[in-house]
Amino acid sequence: MKDVSYLRIEAYSEHPEVREMADLIVDSYLSELKRKNPEKYIRPARKLIASIWLRDTDTFRFGTKTEYFGKKKRKQVWMTQPVRTLFRHMRKIGLISERIPYIPPELAFDGVGKSAIYQRSQSFKETLKDLSINDVIPDPDLPRIQLRNVQNFWEEIDQETQNQEWFQVTEATLKRQDELIAEANVNFPDGTPVHPLSWMYVRKFKEHFHLTGRFYAAFTTWKKEKRLSIRFNDVPACSLDLSQLHPTLILRIRHGVEKETGMFTGLNSDPYDMPSFKHLDRSIHKTLINACFNAKDIDSAARALMNAYYEWDAEDNEYDCTIYKTKKTRVGTKCFPGDKKEALKYIEAFKLKHPQLADALCTGIGLTLQKLDSDFMLNVIRLANLAEIPVLPVHDEIVFPSNKQEHMEMILGKAFSWTFGDAGRFGKLTVKRTTQNEEPTPIFIELD
């Protein structure tokens, strides 16, 4: 049962069966209380029911630890006290049952605690017999901009911040993006509609609003083959993926150059080229090197590399590299079996091979680079909205209708110059074009 995923409270429905079940749950819970306040619970109950129903399988994990509910402290933006209370009451009245209990860290074989696994009851399923996917919508109350603190708790965003121009521009941009995607009738090849929950984006920040800020949706977690299989109003999807964006930004902003230069770089200006570690694939090097940019010092970089494992992903036809941050069971081949000594050797080899990028290594610049690439993507979405082109971003990649490629190339170039000023107004922008049935093709966009 290790692959059972967590329930996310992300849906809502006004369907009569959902309304009836929500009223039943709330009335049953309030019957035991002296103080009645049904308005506090009705909407959360409908969200909880719709989210449980929407899952592909009956089983799911769910955690409701009390310590997650201190003053203004929540692990998840949607994990409110009413949701937690109603979930427990649904268990009590038999709409949900516990299948595998919570396992504390001291009893887990890998030292990592496990949330309990629950399942929908037969009664739950039979009560919602006429509910369909078209009756379920994304949670209308879900904040489109989220901030997590160092402890990974969700922070309430104050009204002063919400009134700032960047905040309101982001919300308005995401709202207009939703409208354009909805109008584009995005479907899978068999005609099945892509549900709005898959393409509703949230901008997520970590620690501060000047760090990270990337855009996330269920779509961003899909395999590339699945992403490129969709159609916009029966037009096949196309992807433009910016090559080597973070190293490119370092070179442009810190050194004012488009590509690496120097005797050690030679004719190969690929920042992910590591000839002294040829046994590792380029896709693995990309993960490892970006982890070193993210690390705040050389010791944390070495720890990240020591916990890096890779395995072949047959579906994407490439290697997948994972850097583990907990005691979770490692899967795949260890990148550096020599541990810290080998990891430090890798870092020094990178500095020797890429001297113009060396000063950014182990400085924590990765979080700042994520903020820069998220600002760039926000501007891409804004310009695409003005051109009325539906777009689905995946960090430094953008998916859109293939008949809009020329427009999107212009938009990428304009957004790059707009976002990065003088650092984005010279040379060329290298992107990789991909469609479902074609091999990736490099494209060079002139900047001015």
**pTM of the predicted model as reported, rounded to 2 decimal places:** 0.89
Q: What is the pLDDT of residue 2?
A: 58
User: Cβ(447)–Cβ(248) under 8 Å?
Assistant: no
Q: Are 349 and 276 in contact (CB under 8 A)?
A: yes
Predicted confidence at residue 104, as pLDDT, reads 65
Residue 291 pLDDT:
95
Q: Where are the alpha helices (H) located in 244-332, listed in sequence order?
A: 245-250, 282-294, 298-306
Query: Which residues, including other chains, have CB under 8 Å from residue 332's CB and lie 6 or more apart?
Result: 309, 310, 311, 320, 322
What distance in Å separates the CA atoms of residue 384 and residue 379, rounded to the nearest whole number?
8
The whole-angstrom separation of Cα 232 and Cα 405 is: 13
pLDDT number for residue 195 = 92
**Distance between CA 306 and CA 284 in Å, rounded?**
13
Predicted local confidence at residue 116, as pLDDT: 86
Render each residue's pLDDT in the chain as its tens digit; 448 residues.
Answer: 557 888 989 999 999 999 999 999 999 999 988 778 899 999 999 999 999 999 989 999 887 666 555 555 666 777 788 999 999 999 999 999 988 877 666 556 655 567 789 999 999 999 999 999 989 999 999 999 999 988 888 888 999 999 999 999 999 999 999 999 999 999 999 999 999 999 999 999 998 999 999 999 999 999 999 999 999 999 999 999 998 999 999 999 999 999 888 655 544 578 999 999 999 999 999 999 999 999 999 999 999 999 999 999 887 788 999 999 877 789 999 999 988 999 999 999 999 999 999 999 999 999 999 999 999 999 999 999 999 999 999 999 999 999 999 999 999 999 999 999 999 999 999 999 999 988 899 999 999 8
